[in-house]
Structure 1
Amino acid sequence: MSNLTETLALIAALGIAVQWLGWRARVPTIVLLLGCGLLAGPVLGVIRPSESLGPAYPALIELGVAAILFEGGLSLRWHELRQTAAGVWRLATLGVALSLGLGTLAAHLLGGLSWPVALVFAAIAVVTGPTVILPLLRQARLRRRPASLLKWEGIVNDPIGALLAVVLFEAMVSPGSPELGHTLAELLLGLVGAAAFGAAAGWSLGRLYLAGQVPEYLKGALALGVALGVFALANLVFVESGLVAATVMGVVLGNMGLPSIEEVRRFKESVAVLLVSGIFLLLSADLDPEILLALDWRSALLIVAMVLVVRPLAVLLATLGSGLEWRERVLLGWIAPRGIVAAAVAGVLGPGLVARGFADGALLLPLVFTLILVTVVAHGFSLGWLARRLGLSAAAREGLLICGASPWSCALAETLLAQQVPVRLADRSWHRLRAARQAGVPVYYGELLSEHAEGELELTDFGSLLAISGNDAYDSLVCAQYAPAFERRRVYQFPVESGHAQRRPGAGSRGRPFLVEGLQFEDLQREWYRGWTFQVTRLGEGFDLAALRRSLPEGARLVLLIDAAEGVRLAAADAPFRAAPGQRVLWFGPKGERGGGGDERG
């Protein structure tokens, strides 16, 4: 396909389709994107990006990477560094140095590369691309600290690795190469200058937002436009420093406490998903199978050493005495998928090495692309499994986060806890949490809408949110805040006032309606004080949901379903309540009057 319009349209459609398929099938999306690109490009020949796009091909890749790193910077929060600062600092400094040294030795001694080519290869291999890490983290559901370490390392090291590779290339292969001290000074100058420029741009744009000088509909687009401008200007001063500038700009802008930053983040996240999909398809579709044939057994040995020896050893040595647990160090030592930046830099520096008289520079691109393929597949499929084995990931998001402490919600939380379901009750009143605390229910005392809650709560334990504070407007705000983390279909709120549309938030800003239409918060409270309790019934082959409904006392309400695989599913007014044999149904009804079947608790 040589038509530019058709190529871009097909790339966009394929990318989003693969993203949806990966989410639906719970398969690492990056692996599917690489497979789809290889199928559409080298295998079937449907897409030839370099032919269709011509000179615009590398430019699109560079701009896409800059936008992705800016979006990654926006997602980095300072509060995440409270427990990970030492680890991130070690990985970004000592870890980079060790990876560079060990990788160079492996490339020269095992891969047979000349010292200059080995050094450039090792510098490129330092990066752990956020274009791969972020989608994997979204699916693997790691605990906060290991996820933060992987995210910060990927986003920080990506531009550093690219800049390091370019500086070393110029220092090692250019005529009249400067001494090592001059090279390091040049690298440091590029890093500091680009970081300062990006920080100034982010702070200035944030001040414009705070001063009300930018309309709401332009904020996301303006942030993206400025980030791309900062990237281009920084590159004019120092090659590849634009990635550093764009990343730092995102970090500064994302941590200024801007009122509308969440809207900017969501806009940029949507753009980043499209860009990641498109760029991975473009790179894999443009791969020439013949370049992989240039690799021999020494190349295979080098790739194995980079994955199984260099990365684990560099991480283990760099994090000694950093306060990280051994399980976290093992996970970090294994997970290091390379991504778009590595491929883009190798595609530029490989031909440059050949032009300077290093014939083995032709192996740089196939080596890097093979490393990308191996790490994306190996780490993409193993991250979730390894994290669960190490106890660093929630095996299933089956828990329930409840916003609003009342006698009714406290009893609900206590019943779920007795059923071995992760639950946490959140409220701004220490007094209202008293009964839950005395019953041993985990609580969060504070404001769910605060940044403190975002840093304190381990959301990987919970698959659903129920907002039942007794205030419609507040519950709607909580649902809107946490909908991206839980998905909107798993965010519920209980209407306080039924039938008063003029006094209720619009449907688009509320969670799903909990229980049935017409029921009010005061009704539940009244029934609780009349002696109603929560009870659990396990369904079986001879006792299905219909039989349970018939056996329930008059007025009893089905509240939620507990499933071993899918976790908690609440009853909603906008969907029928369904349950299968083996699942547990929690219902609320008169005390002492139980449904038949396998009752487990009253």
Structure 2
Amino acid sequence: MLDSMLFVLMFVVVVGIFSQWLAWRIRMPAIVLMSIVGLLIGPILGLVNPQESLGELFSPLISLAVAIILFEGSLNLDFREVRSFSKPLTRIVTLGAFIAWIAGSLAAHYIAGLSVAVAFVIGGLFIVTGPTVILPLLRQAKLKSRTAAILKWEGIVVDPFGALLAVFAFEAIKFINGDESFTSFLLFFTGSIFAGGLGWLFGWVLGKMFEKGQIPEYLKAPVVFAVVLLVFVFSDVIMHETGLLAVTAMGITMANMHIASINDMRHFKENISVLLVSSIFVMLTASLDPSILLEIFNPQIVLFVLAMLFIVRPLSIWLSTIGTDLMNNEKILIGWIAPRGIVALTVSGYFATVLQESGYEDAEMLTALTFALVFATVIFHGFSIGWVAKKLKLVATEKPGVLIVGGNAFTAELALSLLNEKMDVLVVDNSWEQLRYARKLGVPTYAGDILSEQTEYSLDLAPFPKMIAATEMDAYNALICSNFVVELGRDALYQTASSNVSESEYHPSIGGKILFNSSANIYDLTELVLKGFVIRKTNITEQYDYNQYLDARAKDSTLLYILRADGTLKFFTTKMELSANPGDLVVSLTPPTHILESNNDNTSPSKG
């Protein structure tokens, strides 16, 4: 075994990040691969045991990582977004979470055999579903928007509060059992209020400093990182176990201040938290004792996992949504999909230590119990969500929705033409100003970086199986297409021609398909629209075939796409020769004065 502390830290970080990358490449939930890799290097092959190698540093590192992970979750809890959803969501994250806590705790006590205290603590923690695992599943399944929104926001809203509920359950059980006096119990609640106030104060002060420009750009991420650690440790020193509440309150406060530079904090989250999630998860699984690993197959644990899957989750959803407008098929799917993720496993490790130190010896099986639930839910839900959604007819429409990255006059007109054909369309750009063309035409828009992890939390990409990168930065277009190859496939990724790279110099392995023709870069296309060129649509019929259309069209027009009679969307590219059949619709960018020698030109200039 390699016992060097420096080697173990390096090895865990490298293996964790490699697992994330490999999961991205093969389109699997990263948590599955991290579980497998952690088990291989730890209890199976015995290469490393982080808990033994790090010694007394192991628990503090886990605790600090959990604090940052919970801050990450709470930083996404913008109440404006939550309020915009319907009644079922509110019921699920309140009454549903409470029912899941009670039912899960009873299952842990009566089925898994845990003591009441340990059962109610772990039952509180298991209400979380976690955005780190639910979002990849939603992209994979392409659910209808309402169902996807409920699952996504349940994960974001409930995720930060699972650990807090576990803390309160732990203190309440100790008081009921007489392990603490009423004064001690009251002191804990006082400390909790103090922790919440401390988190709010630091979050508000830091947010104001961001707003007033009192922190330079290069220091924003380090300052946030430092303050999160300060708030967690200071609160935990004042009253043990309240640090998690403090950092959660801090994150919620900053999320709802709607700070203009909030993306800087999310940039911090996307770098530090991904590293921590990868490393800590591998550390925990690699530290599992082989006997605990074997304990996963204990009949009591297996029955508990089955109860959580088939009784607790469906029961909480069905009871909490009585009287709402949620359809039965939606209840079935939501009641089935509840993958637990990194927060559940890391926080359970934290509480396993705390509970054992308090004399609850059965808490030693918490890690095995949690790992069994996490792995089972990720595997079962990950591989079944698409099939179940199709059976329940909850898959998004088969119409080929298109997400267009890049706000300008041309993309706005292109999006409007697709929107008029009843397709899902969205124009995304970093700049709110650049989206003015699309907003003027009534085209849906989103201001933000498509490559930002935050976009995954706030934007449902499921309705858009095709993507066009049409910004004014050629390298950025290629980067976007490369980033989404694994999720969408290269055949669904397009980019406009480069303004400074010839077609012969273009490398298809680092970008998407080149749209239209090699000379139609985004600058030229935008200029044509501003000069008055319009998007026209022409029906191909038996009497007026595709060859006649090509002969009649203006020579300086640009062929854009063909909408097949069966609803299939095909874009013209430099590498593909398309042909239209009777019943198809051919769309092109045409001079405004040109009139086809046919009555099949069925669309007027799309100026909204």
Short-chain TM bin = 0.7 to 0.9
Paired position in structure 2 for 1:444:
443
Paired position in structure 1 for 2:278:
277
CA distance in 1 between partners of 2:402 and 2:342 (Å):
37
The CA deviation at 1:275 is 1.6
CA distance in 2 between partners of 1:59 and 1:560 (Å):
57
Where 2:524 maps in the other structure, the secondary structure is coil
Select 1:154's aligned residue among 151, 155, 158.
Answer: 158
Paired position in structure 1 for 2:462:
460
Paired position in structure 2 for 1:507:
none
Q: In structure 2, do the counterparts of structure 1 residues 414 and 268 end up closer, same or farther at CA, with 3 Å as the change threshold?
A: same
Residue 171, structure 1, aligned to residue 170, structure 2: no
Paired position in structure 2 for 1:330:
332
Paired position in structure 2 for 1:377:
379
CA distance in 2 between partners of 1:399 and 1:354 (Å):
53
CA distance in 1 between partners of 2:399 and 2:59 (Å):
41
The CA deviation at 1:42 is 2.0
Paired position in structure 2 for 1:365:
367
1:467-518 CA-partner distances (Å, limit 9, x unpaired): 98xxx9xx78xx99x97999699686799xx89xxxxxxxxxxx99965247
Q: In structure 2, do the counterparts of structure 1 residues 412 and 551 end up closer, same or farther at CA, with 3 Å as the change threshold?
A: farther
CA distance in 2 between partners of 1:65 and 1:340 (Å):
9
CA distance in 2 between partners of 1:89 and 1:128 (Å):
16
Aligned pairs for 1:400-549 within 5 A: 400-401=402-403, 410=413, 413-414=416-417, 418=421, 421-423=423-425, 428=436, 433=441, 443-444=442-443, 448-449=446-447, 459-463=461-465, 516-517=520-521, 519-523=524-528, 528=533
Q: In structure 2, do the counterparts of structure 1 residues 520 and 113 end up closer, same or farther at CA, with 3 Å as the change threshold?
A: closer
Q: In structure 2, do the counterparts of structure 1 residues 558 and 4 end up closer, same or farther at CA, with 3 Å as the change threshold?
A: farther
CA distance in 2 between partners of 1:429 and 1:557 (Å):
20
> Which consecutive residues of structure 2, in runs of 5 or more, have no partner in the other structure?
429-434, 450-454, 501-511, 604-608
Q: In structure 2, do the counterparts of structure 1 residues 90 and 559 end up closer, same or farther at CA, with 3 Å as the change threshold?
A: same
Where 2:258 maps in the other structure, the secondary structure is coil
CA distance in 2 between partners of 1:391 and 1:76 (Å):
30
Aligned pairs for 1:581-600 within 5 A: 588=588
The residue type equivalent to 1:252 in the other structure is T
1:112-168 CA-partner distances (Å, limit 9, x unpaired): 444344333423433334554455456556536224432333323233233234324
Aligned pairs for 1:220-235 within 5 A: 220-235=221-236
1:240-270 CA-partner distances (Å, limit 9, x unpaired): 3222221221222233232222232123112
Where 2:443 maps in the other structure, the secondary structure is strand
Residue 110, structure 1, aligned to residue 111, structure 2: yes
The CA deviation at 1:2 is 2.0
CA distance in 2 between partners of 1:247 and 1:163 (Å):
13
Conserved? CA contact 1:159–1:241, under 8 Å = no
Paired position in structure 2 for 1:126:
127
The CA deviation at 1:86 is 5.1
Q: CA RMSD in A?
A: 5.0
The CA deviation at 1:568 is 6.8
* Number of equivalenced pairs: 548
Conserved? CA contact 2:495–2:513, under 8 Å = yes
Q: In structure 2, do the counterparts of structure 1 residues 361 and 198 end up closer, same or farther at CA, with 3 Å as the change threshold?
A: closer
Conserved? CA contact 1:129–1:158, under 8 Å = no
Paired position in structure 2 for 1:266:
267
Q: In structure 2, do the counterparts of structure 1 residues 551 and 459 end up closer, same or farther at CA, with 3 Å as the change threshold?
A: same
Q: In structure 2, do the counterparts of structure 1 residues 266 and 348 end up closer, same or farther at CA, with 3 Å as the change threshold?
A: closer
Where 1:54 maps in the other structure, the secondary structure is helix
Conserved? CA contact 2:352–2:366, under 8 Å = yes
Q: In structure 2, do the counterparts of structure 1 residues 305 and 577 end up closer, same or farther at CA, with 3 Å as the change threshold?
A: same
Paired position in structure 1 for 2:74:
73
CA distance in 1 between partners of 2:184 and 2:86 (Å):
29
CA distance in 2 between partners of 1:22 and 1:397 (Å):
29
Q: In structure 2, do the counterparts of structure 1 residues 210 and 96 end up closer, same or farther at CA, with 3 Å as the change threshold?
A: same
The residue type equivalent to 2:424 in the other structure is P
Select 2:149's aligned residue among 142, 145, 152.
Answer: 145
CA distance in 2 between partners of 1:401 and 1:163 (Å):
43
Aligned pairs for 1:198-237 within 5 A: 198-237=199-238
Q: In structure 2, do the counterparts of structure 1 residues 70 and 582 end up closer, same or farther at CA, with 3 Å as the change threshold?
A: farther
The residue type equivalent to 1:444 in the other structure is V
The CA deviation at 1:350 is 4.3
Q: In structure 2, do the counterparts of structure 1 residues 356 and 247 end up closer, same or farther at CA, with 3 Å as the change threshold?
A: closer
